[in-house]
Amino acid sequence: MKSKEDRPLRSSLKRFSNQATKSSPQKSSQKSINKKSAPKTKPKPIENLSVTISEKTDVFEGRKVDHLRLSLDERNQANSLRDLDQIELIHDAFPAFNFADVDTSSYFLNHKLSVPFFISSMTAGHRFGQEINRLFLKFSEDHQVLFAVGSQRRDLESELKSEWSFRREHPRALVLANIGLAQLISHGPRKVLQLIDRIDAVGIFVHLNPLQECLQPEGTPQFRGAENSLRDLVRDAGVPVIVKEVGCGLNLTALRRLQNLGVQYFDVSGAGGTHWGRIESERTMKDPILAAAALSFRHWGQGTVQCLHGAISAEIQGHLWASGGVRTGVDVAKLLAVGAEMVGLAKPWLEALLESSPTTGKAPSSLKIRPNAEASLRDLYAKMRLELAIAMFCTGSMKLCDLRNSSKWQRKV
């Protein structure tokens, strides 16, 4: 007989049960649609997914706004795990060219980019997010910078008109689609392919976030069937499929498994920036057991440099991108020197868009876009591009290929 003390724990853990893992994802989703075929005494297949899919708009949008607010809270930044501070670029006092000769341009496929850093995924699926994404689309078009959209889960699951109807206003923007691994499994590659077409994307991110899914009250930590779904998506997408973590890092085991599935693009997305485990821990207060458990994972994850250098040392074949804790153009230069092809950042862009709150280090109570948001984005871009160019000049690197060299950096003593 179970004791009374067991009940809260069992209540917290029961959401992780997944009846659908006993069968294929496609069959399970069909059964959940056909309610009459399932006995009333049994739970619906894919328990968490069926609950989340029927989520009310205000609940879904509230969660997305919470994510934005809490990402601006300094307590949710994993600064102690930020290993970018442990390396330094080696100064070259005798460059053989002029500063004006420095070239920061890069390429993604046949698309020329002005810089090798991009707008990393932040938000989507709510009204406030639409205003943010409209500004990012315009910025991407004006400056030829890659823009990775936030999760398109809402667009995937909703029967309403696509929130990206304004995409046609900026046809030259270079956009990367984005979906979570759990949604790829539950809905299947065929539906996810529609997300690429819907926003005319030049690539698609599939994000892996097992820690966040475990700690999120509405989480969907069901990853069984991922191999087949991901392999099929890579085969059929027609654009690069970039697999990324969300701030805890891709380890070598994961990279090798992904490589065996045909994945050729990886964003190691290490720890050192926004920590989604910490953010979800602040959203679990109604479940004291889950909230207490979340505190044990505040320092979970491997640093960005550790993940990136580990992948290069292990000779992982493919295109290695990096993100996690990137705050300046010097940080970008460091990761390029270690070996990254592209570098992503999110929080600095978000801070440039939103009005500043009182300097308390805590999450703002509300969010408001700056009246001069476009100019603020341009200023951040110009600052980071200048920092990158100076770092290149002072390491004797006229082009990005010159900077991507192990002789350009070292670990601090």
Cα–Cα distance, 205 to 319 (Å, whole number) = 13
C-beta neighbour count of 270 within 10 angstroms: 31
Structure tokens belonging to residue 222? 């069901």
User: What range defines the domain where residue 33 resides?
Assistant: 24-50
394 inside domain: no
What 8-state DSSP symbol labels residue 203?
A: E
Instruction: Report the 10 Å Cβ neighbour count for 317.
Output: 10
pLDDT, residue 12, reads 46
Specify whether 41 is located in the same domain as 178: no
Take residue 228 and report the two structure tokens written for it: 């087949």
pLDDT tens for 332-383 read: 999 999 999 999 999 999 999 988 655 556 666 677 899 999 999 999 999 9
93 located within any domain: no
Encoded amino acid at 179, one letter: I
The CA distance from 97 to 103, in Å, is: 11
191 shares a domain with 167:
yes
Check which CATH number belongs to the domain holding 160 and give it.
3.20.20.70
The DSSP call for residue 341 is S
Same domain, 240 and 341: yes
Query: E strands of 241-299, at which residues?
Result: 241-244, 265-267
d(CA 270, CA 259): 18
Statement to judge: residues 182 and 165 lie in one domain: yes
- Number of domains comprising the chain: 2
Helix (H, G, I), strand (E, B) or coil at 343: strand
Q: Are residues 46 and 186 in the same domain?
A: no
150: pLDDT strictly greater than 60: yes
Sign of CA pseudo-dihedral 265, 271, 272, 276: positive
What is the pLDDT at residue 48? 34
Q: Give dist(CA 96, CA 100) in Å, integer.
A: 12
Domain assignment present for residue 253? The answer is: yes
Rounded CA gap, 332 and 411, in Å? 16
Confidence of residue 36 (pLDDT cuts 50, 70, 90): very low
The pTM (predicted TM-score) of the whole model is: 0.84
